[in-house]
Amino acid sequence: MNGLLVIDKPGGITSHDVVSRLRRITGEKSIGHLGTLDPMATGVLPLLMGKFTRLAQYFSAAEKSYTGTIRFGFATDTFDADGSAVGEQTHPSLTLEEIRIVASRFHGVMEQVPPPFSAKKIAGTPAYKLARAGKPVELKAAQITIRTFTITSLDFEDASFAMSISAGGYVRSVAHELGRELGCGAHLSSLRRTQAGPFTLDDAHRLEELEPLTGDLDALESLCLHPRSLLPEIPAVTGDAISLGRLRNGAQANLPEFSQAAMVKVFAAQRDLVGIARRVAGTLFQPVVVMG
């Protein structure tokens, strides 16, 4: 089974658990998700299946949007509600305006240190494995971009928020740092991804919706996003038999319809994606991804 399917990930399971369940439903072994969601998080989780996993590189820089809540009063070792409390729990008397003033500092391009309990690798070992073993975790700061971070409401010690953050950015790190700036500690208490790149909750399907379709590949494929809608920044062209044959064999081919495009998605039919090609010069294109 080939395609891109967007799942509305439930809470309490890992992104890898979603992949495992989808493998059982579809019978397809080659499945990869685009952007890990922590176990407690819910929402948009795009998955590439079959030959479409070869397109993963083109989705790696996608910005992501979230809603959620931040609990003030104590930090945790994982920076979210799944972790253990760090320090004494307090009951700060914060106002919505106070939180918004400090939250406004988290905007634009900035340096962020990933959480110690994360998949970031240190000398080839995931940081969370070192943290669980009680070993020191020294992660380097990475440059991220927070496009929006809005505190929408405050209910006692829980602040609701909306955020759009670049690929590689950690929302729970923002929650942790916000609590530190306010001097009372904080952690991410809930998180829902509402968008990942162009994919939204409107595109997403629940696993419970897919379970009854186990083994029915036609029905399952009908739930995948149309291949021509993927990577909308790259134009789509339908090749003729000669150009398709050359591209499938890794050879250059002429695609005169898109002589000015830097990259094109090449189709053999409406939904049959052959691959992605890069313009060499004039009308001549070189395949960079071939679906086979």
**Residue 151 pLDDT > 70:** yes
Cα 290 to chain centroid distance, Å, stands at: 24
Alpha carbons within 13 angstroms on the beta-carbon side of residue 226 total 8
Q: Using CA atoms, how far apart are residues 149 and 47, in angstroms rounded to an integer?
A: 27
Domains of the chain and any CATH numbers: 3-62+198-225 (3.30.2350.10), 64-190 (3.30.2350.10), 229-290 (2.30.130)
The more confidently predicted of residues 206 and 260 is 206
Residue recorded with tokens 């397809």: 28
**Residue 123 pLDDT > 70:** no
The confidence band for 130, taking pLDDT boundaries of 50, 70 and 90, is: low
φ, ψ of residue 70 to 5 degrees: the values are -120, 130
Summarize pLDDT for 14-40 with one digit per residue, the tens. 999 999 999 999 999 999 999 889 999
Would you tell me how many other CB atoms lie within 10 Å of the CB of residue 69?
20
pTM over 0.85: yes
Summarize pLDDT for 56-96 with one digit per residue, the tens. 999 988 899 999 999 999 999 999 999 999 988 999 999 99
Q: How many percent of the chain have pLDDT more than 70?
A: 98
Q: Which tokens belong to 68?
A: 């959620």
User: Cα–Cα distances in Å, from 255 out to 110, 227, 236, 242, 247?
Assistant: 42, 19, 11, 11, 11
- Residue 155 designated active-site: no
Question: Average pLDDT of 130-156?
Answer: 87
- Looking at residue 87, its pLDDT comes to 85
Q: Judging by DSSP bridges, how do beta strands 263-267 and 273-281 pair with one another? A: antiparallel
**Three-state DSSP class for residue 200:** strand
User: Cα–Cα distances in Å, from 175 out to 26, 36, 116, 162, 163?
Assistant: 37, 18, 14, 12, 11
- Looking at residue 42, its pLDDT comes to 98
Q: Using CA atoms, how far apart are residues 15 and 20, in angstroms rounded to an integer?
A: 9
Q: What is the largest CA-CA distance in the chain?
A: 71
- Looking at residue 76, its pLDDT comes to 95
The confidence band for 200, taking pLDDT boundaries of 50, 70 and 90, is: very high
Q: Which of 8, 17, 38, 155 is catalytic?
A: 38
